Amino acid sequence: MPAPIQTADLSPLFTPFDLGPLKLRNRFVMAPMTREFSLNGVPGPDVAAYYSRRAAAGVGLIITEGTYIDHPAAGDSIDVPQIFGDTALDGWRAVVDGVHAAGGAIIPQLWHRGGRRAPGTGPKPEVPSISPSGVSYDKIPAARAASLADIEEIVASYARAAGTAQNLDFDGIELHGAHGYLIDQFLWERTNQRTDAYGGDPAGRARFAVEVITACREATSPDFPISFRLSNWKAGDYNAALAPTAEQLAALLHPIAEAGVDIFHVSTRRFFEPAFEGSPLTLAGWVRKLTGLPTIAVGSVGLDGDLWTAYTDGGRAKTTSMDGIIDRFRGNEFDLVAVGRALLSDPQWVAKIERGAFDELHSFAAEDRHILH
């Protein structure tokens, strides 16, 4: 396969970036990708090696795969890592130490699946799943609507996870507020039909996210970086829209930004697609413009097929030019760029990009998700 044609100077992506006290050596982020290799929720030596290999090859910031908080209804897989329990925390210490020794930085993505947790699954199958208002979505059965006591309990669970992350010497945290999971379910009008203070207008629908951020900020030092991942689309549904207009997006984002977020991780199908009709700005660009905060762009970076196409349409995606990403970066639409499947297939991806070895880049195959390299 011929190497993708590269005409742009990619050196700006190899400049440092400061996220509060966190000094990143370049603008490349490893995106979180669920692999289910942490048996019984414990990241083992193979997981530590997996992350440290990518740090050693030049990734500036690693965001771990989604990691379950200690709320009993958080997850539906026993092999997704958890950020509680002595054995799991010992495993995470080895992960963090390995990444730091390789010169990288790492933050865990804190995850609660909410109503997307299938009933009767996960580490606590007897516990019913929880959603904002008991509304089913995308063939997922309706989960129990969260009570005020449930909300308080889940917020506290996030805060414990954040404090634990700092104690483990992680460099920050990311809150998974995208893709139709619990925080996003509160944000989205379709899955949040509550009539109390946690529903209704954008400020009400953002209240749960705000309380989670506030609690995490209180559980950590004032300058401990907090990333918030958001998306318009939902898992398996690229036509869904959290905010169909820039005005609606602003109404959701402002209270979240004011609560203490340091950076937004903006997930899209394709990083280069305009977010709203009548403007060339991407979603990452709009978030940056509306909040004044830095953003991470992600979505089909370095590959010609989007996430779901790669898994359903032959399971393949070929490497493609990086010219588009540098153009958007120079246009100040985002500050960092997250790479997912390309880094999953090729631990050396960033190092190869840096030295211009585009002919050595690997294409992506769906089965790469299950390999250990």
Annotated catalytic residues are: 181
Q: By three-state DSSP, how is residue 130 classified?
A: strand
* 3-state secondary structure labels for all residues of the chain: CCCCCCCCCCHHHHCCEEECCEEECCCEEECCCCCCCCHHHCCCHHHHHHHHHHHHCCCCEEEEEEEECCCCCCCCCCCCCECCCHHHHHHHHHHHHHHHHCCCEEEEEEECCHHHCCCCCCCCCCCCCEECCCCCECCECCCEECCHHHHHHHHHHHHHHHHHHHHCCCCCEEEECCECCHHHHHHCCCCCCCCCCCCCCHHHHCHHHHHHHHHHHHHCCCCCCEEEEEECCECCECCCCCCCCHHHHHHHHHHHHHCCCCEEEEECCCCCCECCCCCCCEHHHHHHHHHCCCEEEECCCCECCCHHHHHHCCCEECECCCHHHHHHHHCCCCCEEEECHHHHHCCCHHHHHHCCCHHHCCCEEHHHHHCCC
Q: Quick one: which H or E segment has residue 30? A: strand 28-30
DSSP string computed for 62-117: EEEEEEE-S-TTS-S-TTS-BS-SHHHHHHHHHHHHHHHHTT-EEEEEEE--GGGS
